[in-house]
Amino acid sequence: MRRDNFCTPPLQKLCHQAIVILAIGVALVWISPAPAAVTEPAGRVRSTNATILELLKEGAERSASFRSLVDAIDRSTGIVYIEFGYCAFGHVNGCLLKFIAAAHGNRYLRIIVTPGRNRRTHEQLIALVAHEMRHALEVLESKEVVDVPTMEAMYRRIGTPLAGRLGHETAEARAAGDAVLAELLAKRMR
């Protein structure tokens, strides 16, 4: 019985090195500890990013308005993920994505905030997160919003269109961001 050998004499040294490297790689993966998981708060406002988790914690500690937004989302049937990214190709600092998924009685939403520090202060970034959480709460408070078309219809009804067809803005979200910023700045001044 003839057996074809991939590692013919000219390639045997290279094959041996590849096998050794592969074996070392497998061993390192097997014995290395699991990467430290980014822990989420037990609530319904979540992130996979440690910096955003710190912003959520700080916002809730320093601002009663921020904390009330988190609490309201926690009492809802929604799960809101907040991540860094870019909305409208960087033309806006944050957004509630036109995305909604429902599973097991929950509605899942995603918020994106631009990470750039040159656009805002630390307090303004926390206020931006609050502003976008208020948008998420608007969706979660409207039981009829279960997909993108119903989300868009709701914002056409309650919001003001933004220039360039970038979405809609609401007075409630602006007020939430402003209230959080005022509370954060007042506590920083003390």
Instruction: State whether 51 and 73 are in the same domain.
Output: yes
Residue 1 lies in a domain: no
Out of 21-35, 101-115, 119-133, 162-176, pick the least confident: 21-35
In angstroms, the first-to-last Cα distance of the chain is 87
DSSP string, 104-130: TTEEEEEEEE---TTSS-HHHHHHHHH
pLDDT at site 8: 60
Mean pLDDT across 62-89:
95
Q: Please state, for a pLDDT cut of 90, what percent of the chain lies above it.
A: 63
Instruction: State whether 64 and 155 are in the same domain.
Output: yes
Residue 2 lies in a domain: no
pLDDT above 70: residue 88: yes
Instruction: State whether 18 and 105 are in the same domain.
Output: no
Instruction: State whether 15 and 105 are in the same domain.
Output: no
Instruction: State whether 11 and 103 are in the same domain.
Output: no
Q: How far is CA 22 from the centre of its chain?
A: 36
Instruction: State whether 91 and 20 are in the same domain.
Output: no
Looking only at the bridges linking them, the beta strands covering 106-113 and 78-84 are parallel
pTM greater than 0.85: no
Residue 15's domain spans which residues?
Answer: 7-36
Instruction: State whether 26 and 101 are in the same domain.
Output: no
pLDDT at site 35: 38
Per residue in 130-166, pLDDT tens?
999 999 999 999 999 999 999 999 999 999 998 766 7
Instruction: State whether 25 and 89 are in the same domain.
Output: no
155-189 as b/e, with b when 16 or more CB fall inside 10 Å?
beeebeeeeeeebbbbebbeebbebbbebbeeeee
pLDDT at site 56: 97
Instruction: State whether 90 and 166 are in the same domain.
Output: yes
pLDDT above 70: residue 172: yes
Mean pLDDT across 1-5:
48
60-91 as b/e, with b when 16 or more CB fall inside 10 Å?
bebbebbbbbbebbeebebbbbbeeebbeeee
Instruction: State whether 28 and 54 are in the same domain.
Output: no
Average pLDDT, the chain: 82
Q: With bands split at pLDDT 50, 70 and 90, how would you rate the model's confidence at 22?
A: very low
Q: Where are the beta strands (DSSP E) in the chain?
A: 45-46, 78-84, 94-96, 101-103, 106-113, 160-161, 168-169
How many domains does the chain fold into? 2
